[in-house]
Amino acid sequence: MFGPGSQFHRFFNDPRWALAVVRATVLEAAHPQIGAALVDNSSFVVHPWRRLRNTLVSLQRMFGADEDVRRREAARLNRLHTRFSGTDAKNRPYDAMDPEVRAWVVATLFESSVTMCRLSGQPLDQTAMERLYAEFRAFLAALGDQAGHLPPTVPEFWQYYDRMVAEELQNTEALRIILYRLFEHLPAPPLFAGLPTLWATGRALAGPVIGTITVASLPEVFRRRAGLPEVPGAQTLMQSAYLAARMARALPDNWLQTENVISLLSLSPDGDGPWAETLTTLRARTKQAGALIRLITPVPAQQGPADHSGASENRRGARAFFTEVLDQTGDGYLDWPDLAAMARELCSRLDLDEPQETRLYDAFAAWWRELQAALDSDGDGRVSAEEYAAAAPSLAGPALIRVAEVLFEATDANGDQFIDAEEYRTLFRRGFGRSVLDAEGRHSRSAFVRDFLSFMSGRERSTPYDPLLSDA
C-alpha cells in the first residue's frame, strides 16, 4: 500500500498532480466544516508556499516505506488537527478530528487523482483505480480512523461522492478566497523574493487562468449549486492544461521529482545550500527582466503628502511587521490563531514530539495572553494593526522571553546549550549567517534569545530571523 511501488508514489511525481491537488483543495474548502477551519485557523492565504511545502513533506512521510516515520507523522497530524475546533460565523460547530470530515479530505484526493487521469486522456483502468482507492483507505486507517468512514468499494465510493457533492458542499468563504483572492494575489515564493514587478506580471496572467481551469474541472452539479461562473472556452482551456501537464511528463526525471520542488520552495536569496549558486544566477537574470518591465510600467501616483517624520517611519515599520510576520492568517488582526500558526510552523520545522510541542504551544499561548492584556485597548479580543503600531516598542515581556527560551531548547537537539550549524539549518532552513556566530562557530543561548526578542518585538526588521515566520 505504501512506498515506491504504490500507485500514489507514481502520481506524487506526476506534473498533472499539481492540478489535482489544487482541485482537491477547493473541494475540501467547499465542505462547511473544513471551510470554517481554514478561514479561522489556516495561514494558507498569507503563506501558501509554506503550506504547500509542509503538505508535500507530510504526504511523503505518510506514503513512504518507513512504518515508524508514518506512525510518527500520523501522530503529529492528529495532534495538529485536535487544535482545530470551534464555531463558524453562523455559530455552527466544526472539528478537524471529525472522522467524516477527515474521510472527505481523503476522498477529494482520490477523486481528483482519478479525474486528472481522465481529463488528460489517460483514464485509469478498474484495477489501477481499485488499487489507488485501497491505498487512500489505508492512509485514512494509518491516521487511526475506522475504514468504514469511506465506502469499502469503488462503486460505493462514487455513490458517496455524488451525494456529498449534491447535498453537503457549499460556496464557502474559504472556497471564494482560494478561487478569487489566492490565485490572483498569490505572494511570491522565496525564490522570487525581491522581484515584485516580475512576479506581479506573471501572476496577473496566470492567476485568473488557474482559477478558471479549477472551476471548470469541478463537478457540474456543484458549479450550478454554488453559482460559480461559466467562462466561455473554460472547458477547452481546462482540457488543454491537463494535456499539457501530461506532456510535461516527458521532461527529465530530475525536473519532475517532488523532492526538488520542496527544495525550491525552501530556497531563499541568502541560502547556502547546493542550489545557492544556481539561485544567485537565476535571480541576477530575473532582476534584469524585472528592470525591463519596470521601464515600461507606469509608476502609480502617490496619494497624499509624504511624511518623513521619525514617528511616521516607525509606525510604517510596525505596520509592515504586523502584516508580514504577526498576522499569519491575513485577516488584518492579531489573535490566537495567528500565534498558533507560528507555533505550528516551528513545530513542523523541528519535527517535535508531543511534550516539546505542547511546551512551545503553551509558551505562545502565554505570550498571546500578555499581548492581549497589553494591546487590546478596545476589548474586542483581538489586536488591530493600529493598536499594535501604537505600542510596538514595548512588546518584549516575560512571556515572549519564555517563547524564545522554549524555542532554543527545542532547537538545541543535543542539549549542549548551543545551536550548531545542523540545528540552525533545521530551524531556519539555511546556513549560519556570520552575524550570529560566536568565536567557536556556534549560536549561544543568550545570543539566540536576544536576537529572537529583537525580531519578534519588531525592533529590528533586517535580521537572519526574518524568513523564520515571514516566508510566503
Instruction: Measure the CA–CA gap between 423 and 349, rounded to whole angstroms.
Output: 11
182 falls in which pLDDT band (50, 70, 90)?
confident
Ordered by start, the domain boundaries in the chain are 7-250, 312-470
In this structure, which amino acid lies at residue 335? D
**What are the φ/ψ torsions at residue 85 (nearest 5 degrees)?**
-150, 155
Least confident stretch, 3-17, 189-203, 395-409: 189-203
- Quick one: 137 exposed, middle or buried, by C-beta within 10 A (0-12, 13-18, 19+)? buried
Instruction: Measure the CA–CA gap between 250 and 231, rounded to whole angstroms.
Output: 31
- Quick one: 41 exposed, middle or buried, by C-beta within 10 A (0-12, 13-18, 19+)? buried
Pairing type for strands 418-419 and 383-384 reads unpaired
Instruction: Measure the CA–CA gap between 424 and 431, rounded to whole angstroms.
Output: 7
Give the number of other Cβ atoms within 10 Å of residue 313's Cβ. 11
Q: Which three cell numbers stand for residue 381?
A: 479580543
End-to-end CA distance of the chain: 34
- Predicted confidence at residue 162, as pLDDT, reads 96
Q: Interior CA angle at 455 toward 452 and 456, to 5°? A: 85
Give the list of residues 6+ apart from residue 437 with CB closer than 8 angstroms, or none. Answer: 443
**If you ran DSSP here, which 8-state letter would residue 187 be given?**
P
Is 395 or 269 the better-scoring residue by pLDDT? 395
Q: Which three cell numbers stand for residue 389?
A: 503600531
Is 44 or 119 the better-scoring residue by pLDDT? 119
- Predicted confidence at residue 433, as pLDDT, reads 58
pTM metric for this prediction = 0.84
- In the predicted structure, residue 81 carries a pLDDT above the cut 50: yes
Tallying the residues shown for the chain, one arrives at: 472
Helix (H) or strand (E) holding 384: strand 383-384
Is the Cα dihedral 118, 123, 125, 128 positive or negative? negative
- In the predicted structure, residue 303 carries a pLDDT above the cut 50: no
Candidate ranges 139-153, 229-243, 275-289, 445-459; pick with highest mean pLDDT: 229-243
C-alpha distances in Å from residue 184, one per residue of 23, 187, 292: 16, 9, 23
- In the predicted structure, residue 25 carries a pLDDT above the cut 90: yes
327 falls in which pLDDT band (50, 70, 90)?
very high
276 falls in which pLDDT band (50, 70, 90)?
low
- Predicted confidence at residue 145, as pLDDT, reads 82
E-strand stretches of 63-205: 85-87, 93-95
Superfamily classification of domain 312-470:
EF-hand (1.10.238.10)
E-strand stretches of 120-214: none
Q: What is the DSSP string of 433-460?
A: PGGG--TTS-EEHHHHHHHHHHHHTTS-
